[in-house]
Homo-oligomer: A and B are copies of this chain.
Amino acid sequence: MRSYNQYCAVAKALDVVGDRWTLLIARELLIGPCRYGELQQSLPGMASNLLASRLRNLEGAGVVVRDAESRYVLTPWGEHLAEPVQALARWGAPLMSVRKEGDAFRSQWLAAAVGVIFGGVDPGRPPFVAEIRADGAPVTMESSQGRVQFRSGPASAPNLVLSGPPDAIIGLLAGRLNQDEAEALGVSILGDLHPLAEMRRADWLTGPEICQVESTS
C-alpha cells in the first residue's frame, strides 16, 4: 500500500496492515501458525498473488516470520494485533445479527466471536467446557480460572454441546436468542446454557440496537 505519509500512529499502523485482506490474514494467524494453503482456504475469494504479496509485505515489516516447517507465524509485535483486531470485531459485532446470503463461514472464526463476547479475565466466571459444531469441524471453548480459551478440535468432557447453523449458534452465545428460539432455528443443545450468561463480559450488550441496519443501500 502507498504510505499515507502522515506522522500519526494510526496512519503508520495502516501503512502496515491497512491493505485489503491484511487484517484478515492477521485474524487467521492470531489463532495459530498457518501454511500458505490453510490461509488460502480460510480466505475465500482472495487471489493467490495477493496473498503471497501481503505475506511478503508482512514479513518485510516484521509482523510475520516463517518457522522451520515454512509456516507463517506472528512475531511478538504481530501478536499484539490481537487488540486492534478484537476491537474491530467488537465494533462489527452488531452486524452479525443477520447472516447475509452467500456469506462464507469457517468454524475457526468463532474464535473471534468468543473473544468478543467472553474476552478478558473475570474471576467470577464458572469453569465450563463447551463443544461447538457450526457448519464444520468441531471447536472447543473452555472457561477456567476466569479466562475463556478457544481451540479447534472436539472437547473431551464438555458440559455443553451445541450444533447447528452458525448464525443461530452465535445468537445463542451472544445472548440474542434463548433456548427455544435457537432450537427453532435448528440448533441442537445438549447440556445447560445458563453458565453462558455468567461468562459474558460485563460490558457486553445483547442487541444490535446501536447500529440501525438499513435496507436502503
Which residue numbers of A lie inside 8 Å of B, CB to CB? 1, 3-18, 20, 23-24, 27, 44-45, 60-62, 75-77, 80-81, 83-96, 99-100, 102-106, 109, 112-113, 116, 166-167, 210-214, 216-217
Residues of B within 8 A of A88 (CB): 9-10, 13-14, 17, 84
The CA-CA distance from A106 to B6 in the complex, in Å, is: 9
User: B12 near A96 (CB under 8 angstroms)?
Assistant: yes
User: A13 near B91 (CB under 8 angstroms)?
Assistant: yes
Given contacts A80-B210, A87-B87, contact A96 B62 (CB under 8 A): no
Residues of B within 8 A of A12 (CB): 92, 95-96
**CB closest chain-B residue, reference A75:** B211
Neighbour of A211 across the interface among B77, B87, B100, CB < 8 A? B77
User: A7 near B103 (CB under 8 angstroms)?
Assistant: yes
User: A212 near B62 (CB under 8 angstroms)?
Assistant: yes
Given contacts A80-B91, A109-B8, contact A20 B1 (CB under 8 A): yes
The CA-CA distance from A113 to B10 in the complex, in Å, is: 9
User: A9 near B214 (CB under 8 angstroms)?
Assistant: no
User: A167 near B14 (CB under 8 angstroms)?
Assistant: no
The CA-CA distance from A104 to B4 in the complex, in Å, is: 9
User: A9 near B212 (CB under 8 angstroms)?
Assistant: no
Residues of B within 8 A of A4 (CB): 24, 45
The CA-CA distance from A8 to B61 in the complex, in Å, is: 26
**Contacts beyond the supplied A12-B92, A12-B95, A12-B96: 9 A-B pairs with Cβ under 8 Å:** A4-B45, A5-B102, A13-B88, A13-B89, A14-B24, A18-B20, A77-B211, A80-B210, A83-B87
Given contacts A24-B4, A210-B80, contact A9 B89 (CB under 8 A): yes
Given contacts A24-B11, A91-B80, contact A5 B211 (CB under 8 A): no
User: A5 near B45 (CB under 8 angstroms)?
Assistant: yes
Residues of B within 8 A of A75 (CB): 211
Neighbour of A100 across the interface among B7, B92, B95, CB < 8 A? B7
